[in-house]
Amino acid sequence: MFFRSKPRPATAADPDAPTEDTGVLDTLRRSLDAARLPAQAAAAAGRELARLEKTDPSVAEYAVGIHYLECILKLPWNACTRDTLDLTRARDVLDARHHGLAPVKERILEFLAARALRGAARPRLLVVDDEEIARTNMAHVLGREGYEVRVAGDGLEALDVLTGGFEADVVVTDLKMERLDGMELLRRLRRVAPDAAVVMVTGFATVGTAVEALRAGAAHYLGKPVNLDELKRTVRAVLEARTASSPGRGPVLCFSGPPGVGKTSVGQAVAESLGREFVRVSLAGLRDEAELRGHRRTYVGAMPGRILKELTRVGVANPVFMLDEIDKIGSDFRGDAASALLEILDPEQNARFSDNFLEIPFDLSRIMFLATANDVSRLPGPLLDRLENLAFPGYTDREKCGIAKDFLLPRHLRENGLSQASVSFTDQALSRIIDDYTRESGLRGLSREIGTACRRLAKLTFENAGQAPARIDAPDIPTLLGPRRFTREAAEAGDRVGVVTGLVVGEHGGEIVFVETARMPGTGQLLLTGSLGEVLRESAQAALSHIRSQAAALGVEPGFFEKTDLHIHFPAGAVTKDGPSAGVTIFCALLSLLTGRPARCDAAATGEMTLAGRLLPVAGIREKCLAAKRAGITTVVLPRANGEVVAALPDDVLEGLDVVLAADAAEAARVVLRGEKEKEEASGGRGE
């Protein structure tokens, strides 16, 4: 009986037989040769490829090595998009995407203009050679490359040019010259022009002179006669290296503000204005720094960090990269992700960012980083120091109404199969949605409620054979959205003793708050209730101590606190409150209680108060003024140090408000409390 034997597969005994694995390595080798990788990346890839050639394909390390090489190949080492900034177009893009936000738009345009000017500046070169023909030829060739070129006949003449105001980026100098040779010029340049890179040129090229020049600080060394093509390549490489290591790339903008005010979409508009790719990475809840830096290859399933993965996805090395919700980064036993951002955002370090997976320096300095945060006070100090905060204010009710009419309503009508010709909302209807169904500084809740109303209208239209209410007015809103969800705090109906209105800023923008006080027989205790933070408790202690120390001047019985307990309460006990800006409000409430003078129901105060009674400036003036207007307040007392901020507010914010700037707490009390002016007039009359 005979059997036909099957063909024998290729084994280690057949070293010349081609295998699938050797084909993969050959493909990777060809791709690496054609990739024009940086020197360190090419060397690391070569070492890994050599290791894989000796590794059994069946082991796990082989697949990890293949993945490592593929990651190196996919990274955009040299791919960049060219900026196409037109300030007029950039302004049009910002205006088309966002209503209002004029200060924010101006700051962004300034930021973009500075980057554009810095990028458009012509590199400045100084050519130093005592041979006129060589000097002229080098200057002519480099000038045709678009550089601004100056020439000098020797080292002393070169120093005169540099000290005369010409800031050279690169100095191309001969080594052997009369009066002052190239080596001495190189040494003096460290003092006169320390930022200039030096390319040494000489006809006496030896290993010793080259080593001496490079040790003295030269960036490159060329022999004579100079190959002009090589000179162009050398100068271009020196300028690129100088640009990569330059820290002067401008600040990293951090857009801060409440949710829904357009922080992320402004970042998209910046990318569109520059013609760059846009990348957004949410950092909310991020705790493991390996998410940013990557995992080391010894871990199972290791991969690069999110920074390099996103660059691989977009395929360019200079996108607009938005780090969203940067204030919500956490930290635990796995590391501090916020500390990892220090290297990523620092222009002194990010030109050689090393991912744990690749362990090869990658230049992140070409990226335009942006960040967003709701509360920058949560950021660590070193990280905040690397950011330039650009605060996004909340929208006024008038701005919300305009945005709803021009942007939100047309979009939701279109998405729900309705047309603006068949359905319209009056301004009163939109204002009712804003007042009764949203409580926010942004627009997300307003957009959600308008979408709900449009879906209800679409249902009515479908059920009534295409007929729906053509005009939606304020009384129709409860039919579409149900009972009102929010009631805004309004000013008191009348003056009260011991109750003063304050102004605060919370997650939903500005609000008013009532500071209530009461006295009772006791042993001199101060009770504080209302979920108060430590800073607010200290403000109350400071206000009481100031009253006790100035009791006679304030018209308070000096020994009032010996047999009296005082109670200060902030309503809405379920909401945590903190901050220094209620100090003057607490002072006025206590003074009203102890003197019996009622506090004005149409006045509100805000300001940090010192133990000596001085008022310090506070933040959120715009939001606080808007809150006062919504509540029916007509007089607002602010620290005098906030005068410049008040002067810069737009007219629609201050319309209907009488803003009083007070230097100290006593001056604020004369405005907030009734009876002080009458008492002064009476005492003045007796004096005469």
Q: What is the pLDDT of residues 336-386, one digit of tens each?
A: 788 888 889 887 788 888 999 999 999 898 899 999 998 888 888 888 888
The mean pLDDT value for 628-652 works out to 91
pLDDT band at residue 204 using 50, 70 and 90 as cut-offs = low
Same-domain check for residues 236 and 281: no
Same-domain check for residues 439 and 587: no
Same-domain check for residues 467 and 571: no
The mean pLDDT value for 639-668 works out to 92
Same-domain check for residues 143 and 191: yes
Bridge partners (DSSP) of residue 544 are none
Separation CA 406–CA 404 (nearest Å): 6
**In-domain check, residue 83:** no
**In-domain check, residue 493:** no
CB 662 within 8 A of CB 636: no
Which of 2-11, 150-159, 186-195, 445-454 is least confident?
2-11
pLDDT band at residue 2 using 50, 70 and 90 as cut-offs = very low
The mean pLDDT value for 227-234 works out to 87
Same-domain check for residues 581 and 603: yes
**In-domain check, residue 89:** no
Residue 311: which of 271, 366, 370 has the closest Cα? 366
The CA-based angle 269-273-277, given to 5 degrees, is: 75
Domain boundary among the residues 363, 385, 407 is at 385
The mean pLDDT value for 49-75 works out to 89
Q: Is 650 annotated as a binding residue?
A: no
Same-domain check for residues 194 and 233: yes
Instruction: For residue 291, give the H/E element and its range.
Output: helix 290-293
* pLDDT, position 441: 79
Q: Which two tokens stand for residue 498?
A: 């011991």
Same-domain check for residues 240 and 287: no
Cβ-count burial 369-405 (b if 16+ within 10 Å, e if not): bbbbbbebeebeeebbebbeebbbbbbbebbbbbbbb
* pLDDT, position 120: 67
Mind listing the pLDDT tens digit for each residue in 507-524? 667 888 999 999 999 888
* pLDDT, position 381: 86
Q: Which residues are catalytically annotated?
A: 581, 624
Domain boundary among the residues 211, 228, 245 is at 245
Q: Is 257 annotated as a binding residue?
A: yes
What CATH number does residue 351 fall under?
A: 3.40.50.300
Same-domain check for residues 671 and 583: yes
Residue 446 has pLDDT above 90, yes or no: yes
pLDDT band at residue 246 using 50, 70 and 90 as cut-offs = low
**Residue 298 has what DSSP assignment?**
T
DSSP strand E in 307-386: where? 320-324, 331-332, 335-336, 353-354, 361-362, 368-373
What CATH number does residue 436 fall under?
A: 1.10.8.60
* pLDDT, position 332: 65
CA 251 to chain centre: 9
pLDDT band at residue 681 using 50, 70 and 90 as cut-offs = very low
* pLDDT, position 133: 87
* pLDDT, position 360: 92
State which amino acid sits at residue 329: I
The mean pLDDT value for 95-123 works out to 81
pLDDT band at residue 6 using 50, 70 and 90 as cut-offs = very low
Q: Specify the higher pLDDT residue, 467 or 115.
A: 115
Q: Is 263 annotated as a binding residue?
A: yes
Q: Is 262 annotated as a binding residue?
A: yes
The per-residue pLDDT of the chain, averaged, comes to 84
What percent of the chain is predicted at pLDDT more than 70?
Answer: 89
The parent domain of residue 451 ranges over 397-481
CB 310 within 8 A of CB 281: yes
Residue 210 has pLDDT above 60, yes or no: yes
**In-domain check, residue 168:** yes
Coil, strand or helix at 100: coil
Is the four-CA dihedral 438, 444, 450, 453 of positive or negative sign?
negative
State which amino acid sits at residue 110: E
Bridge partners (DSSP) of residue 361 are 354
User: CB neighbours of 237 closer than 8 A, spacing ≥ 6?
Assistant: 220
CB 159 within 8 A of CB 185: yes
pLDDT band at residue 17 using 50, 70 and 90 as cut-offs = very low
**In-domain check, residue 614:** yes
The mean pLDDT value for 177-203 works out to 82
Domain boundary among the residues 333, 354, 385 is at 385
Same-domain check for residues 468 and 608: no
**In-domain check, residue 133:** yes
Separation CA 266–CA 280 (nearest Å): 12
CB 628 within 8 A of CB 604: yes
Instruction: For residue 232, give the H/E element and its range.
Output: helix 228-245
Reply yes or no: is the peptide bond before residue 9 cis, omega within 30 of 0. Answer: no
Residue 18 has pLDDT above 60, yes or no: no
**In-domain check, residue 664:** yes
pLDDT band at residue 180 using 50, 70 and 90 as cut-offs = confident
DSSP strand E in 118-243: where? 124-128, 148-152, 170-174, 197-202, 220-223
**In-domain check, residue 486:** no
Separation CA 585–CA 591 (nearest Å): 10
* pLDDT, position 247: 44
Same-domain check for residues 509 and 644: yes
* pLDDT, position 248: 46
Q: Which two tokens stand for residue 579?
A: 């901050």
The mean pLDDT value for 7-13 works out to 45
Residue 103 has pLDDT above 50, yes or no: yes
- The total number of structural domains that make up the chain: 5
Q: Specify the higher pLDDT residue, 120 or 327.
A: 327
* pLDDT, position 216: 73
Q: Is 632 annotated as a binding residue?
A: no
User: CB neighbours of 637 closer than 8 A, spacing ≥ 6?
Assistant: 584, 603, 604, 605, 606, 607, 660, 662, 668, 671, 672
Which of 72-81, 84-93, 231-240, 573-582 is least confident?
573-582
Coil, strand or helix at 357: coil
Same-domain check for residues 471 and 574: no
Residue 367: which of 279, 449, 238 has the closest Cα? 279
Same-domain check for residues 503 and 631: yes
Instruction: For residue 637, give the H/E element and its range.
Output: strand 635-639
Coil, strand or helix at 322: strand
